[in-house]
């Protein structure tokens, strides 16, 4: 009963957070660097397309994608794939010395995490209306402290100090979406074991759990602890993004080697069903916060 009451209480909060027009969601999105390879890729694509007197729809048919995807490539709100670059080079014949493959190589060489994740962090999260996440092992990245994140990246195989610091900075930049005027509504489910899994030392854990408690005070953030006996959650971490303007729901599913970002209907439906199965094992938020406070006191 408490859990159902909580759900009814949260509904008007969602409306208040997003009562402005959907277009305002984009106001808080990070500005694009005009000198970045991704912006240059889009600008060159548009220049050559217009010079060839081709519509976005015509280019989309040659790339095997939609007109909307072409539009997002040109606006640099979508990270191009290797196949995008190869097909554009074939289509335009590297006119005027332009090479989309060279630009693509510059994009993936940029620091701040793997290119497959940047597509999520730069395109999906900044425009999402609602983000639902599940993590059985760690505090999710959007709610990690700098110290906690640094400890995680320091343990990555062959990670250099420079790579660690760049990934920490990239993680903190992601969290800027929480401070927008119209932030996404974030519903976080974490396994109870996360509260006592040692990352760094006691000081790092105390700071991290304090940060979780502080984040939960935001009207746009909900944190719930999941019973450790929840077997559906053992399959791994994931995030579900609800996007504006009728865009399809998109998910990011973790794996040790490479995460998977997709809006495939069957994949999305499977992850949504798993999320609901995990949520049934979640403690109400008021109890979850008491559990976090109790674990925080244990880190002495």
Most confident of 2-6, 33-37, 173-177: 173-177
Domain residues of the chain, as ranges?
Answer: 2-27+114-298, 37-109
Q: Between 36 and 266, whose confidence is greater?
A: 266
pLDDT at residue number 5: 35
pLDDT above 70: residue 293: yes
Specify the higher pLDDT residue, 38 or 247.
247
Summarised one tens digit per residue, pLDDT across range 73-126 is: 998 877 788 888 899 999 988 655 668 988 887 776 655 555 556 668 777 888
Q: 3-state SS of the chain: helix, strand, coil percent to 5?
A: 60, 10, 30
Angle at Cα 212 formed by Cα 190 and Cα 135, nearest 5°? 20
Helix (H, G, I), strand (E, B) or coil at 247: coil
Reported as a pLDDT band with limits 50, 70 and 90, residue 127 is confident
Three-state DSSP at 91 gives helix
What pLDDT does residue 93 have? 80
Give the SS3 label for residue 236: coil
List Cβ neighbours of 262 (8 Å cut-off, separation of 6 or more): 250, 251, 268
CA 13-16-20 angle, to 5 degrees, is 150
pLDDT of residue 35: 59
| Fold type of domain 2-27+114-298 | Endonuclease; Chain A (3.30.870)
Q: Lowest mean pLDDT: which of 29-43, 180-194, 220-234?
A: 29-43
Predicted structure pTM score:
0.68
pLDDT confidence bin for 14, thresholds 50/70/90: very low
The total of other beta-carbon atoms located within 10 Å of residue 218's CB is 15
Residue 9 confidence (pLDDT):
34
**Residue of 104, 71, 74, 69 whose CA lies nearest to 86:** 104
pLDDT 10s digits, 168-195 = 988 898 898 999 889 999 999 999 999 9
| Rounded to 5°, angle at Cα 60 from 242 and 56 | 95
Average pLDDT over residues 123-147: 94
Most confident of 87-91, 231-235, 245-249, 277-281: 277-281
Same CATH fold assignment for domains 2-27+114-298 and 37-109: no
Q: What is the pLDDT of residue 29?
A: 39
Dihedral of the alpha carbons of 87, 66, 47, 80, in degrees to the nearest 10: -60
Q: What is the mean pLDDT of the chain?
A: 83
Top-confidence residue, 124 or 154: 154
Work out the percent of the chain whose per-residue pLDDT is above 70: 82
Q: What is the mean pLDDT of residues 238-250?
A: 92
Helix and strand numbers (H, E) in the chain are 12, 6
Report how far residue 218's alpha carbon sits from residue 187's, in angstroms, rounded to the nearest whole number: 11
Cβ pair 80, 86 in contact under 8 A: no
pLDDT at 114: 57
Domain 37-109: which topology? 434 Repressor (Amino-terminal Domain) (1.10.260)
Is residue 95 a contact partner of residue 152, using CB atoms and an 8 Å limit? Answer: no
pLDDT value of position 83: 87
Furthest CA-CA distance within the chain: 67
**Amino acid 132: pLDDT:** 98
């Amino acid at each position: 009963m408490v859990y159902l009451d909580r759900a009814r209480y949260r509904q008007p909060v969602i409306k208040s957070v997003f009562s402005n027009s959907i277009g305002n969601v984009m106001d808080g999105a990070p500005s694009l660097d005009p000198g970045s390879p991704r912006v240059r890729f889009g600008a060159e694509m548009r220049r050559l397309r217009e010079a060839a007197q081709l519509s976005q729809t015509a280019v989309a048919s040659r790339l095997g994608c939609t007109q909307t995807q072409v539009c997002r490539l040109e606006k640099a709100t979508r990270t191009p794939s290797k196949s995008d670059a190869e097909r554009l080079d074939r289509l335009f014949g590297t006119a005027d010395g332009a090479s989309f493959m060279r630009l693509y190589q510059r994009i993936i060489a940029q620091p701040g995490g793997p290119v497959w994740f940047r597509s999520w962090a730069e395109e999906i999260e900044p425009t999402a209306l609602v983000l639902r996440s599940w993590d059985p092992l760690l505090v999710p990245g959007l709610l990690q402290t700098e110290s906690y994140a640094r400890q995680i990246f320091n343990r990555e195989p062959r990670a250099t100090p420079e790579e660690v610091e760049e990934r920490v900075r990239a993680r903190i930049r992601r969290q800027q979406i929480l401070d927008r005027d119209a932030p996404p509504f974030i519903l976080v489910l974490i396994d109870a074991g996360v509260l006592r899994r040692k990352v760094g030392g006691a000081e790092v854990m105390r700071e991290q759990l304090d940060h979780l408690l502080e984040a939960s005070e935001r009207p746009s953030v909900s944190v719930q602890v999941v019973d450790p006996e929840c077997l559906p959650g053992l399959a791994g971490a994931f995030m579900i993004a609800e996007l504006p303007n009728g865009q399809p729901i998109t998910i990011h599913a973790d794996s040790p080697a490479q995460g998977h970002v997709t809006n495939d209907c069957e994949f999305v439906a499977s992850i949504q069903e798993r999320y609901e199965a995990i949520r049934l094992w979640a403690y109400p938020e008021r109890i979850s916060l008491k559990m976090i406070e109790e674990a925080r006191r244990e880190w002495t």
